[in-house]
Amino acid sequence: MTPNIAPWLAVRDAQAAVDFYGAAFGAGVLYRLDGDTVTIAVARLAIGSAEFWVQDDADASPEGRRAPPVRLILSVEDPDAVFDQAVAAGAAIVAPIHEEYGWRSGRVTDPFGHDWEISRQLT
């Protein structure tokens, strides 16, 4: 087994999060556990080979948060297209796509309060 790190995101509505991440980033569902009172309790998603989890948590809310303590970096071939797709799906722009420090990147906040830096290293 190769060690890896997979973020686990607490969200107020896991079904809405799964739908958003699919529309915004093309994420597919690898695993899904339905709950008693919610459609999805936990789901493991993948964007290409990058995996992450979402968990339904009634207490999770983007309201009242200062800067999130974690930023997710999504490295993709075409950051411009993925950035535009995420914004069209409902993400808020934090920093538009730009080139700096050898990277082409932009940052968005998803509807659940998580920051995503969408980037590609320049050669």
- The predicted-structure confidence for 77-95, as pLDDT tens digits, reads as follows 999 999 999 999 999 999 9
Q: What pTM was computed for the model? A: 0.84
Q: Determine the pLDDT at residue 64.
A: 61
pLDDT at 112: 92
Q: Report how far residue 1's alpha carbon sits from residue 113's, in angstroms, rounded to the nearest whole number.
A: 32
For residue range 1-57, what is the model confidence (pLDDT) as tens digits?
A: 777 889 999 898 999 999 999 999 999 999 999 988 778 999 999 999 999 999 998
Q: Which amino acid is at 40?
A: I
CB atoms within 10 A of CB 108: 23
Is the pLDDT at 68 greater than 80, yes or no? no
Q: How is residue 7 written in tokens? A: 């973020």
d(CA 102, CA 55): 34
Is residue 70 scored above 80 in pLDDT? no
Give all strands (DSSP E) within 41-102, no chain letters: 42-47, 50-56, 71-75, 92-100
Q: How far is CA 88 from CA 53, 117, 119, in A?
A: 22, 16, 17
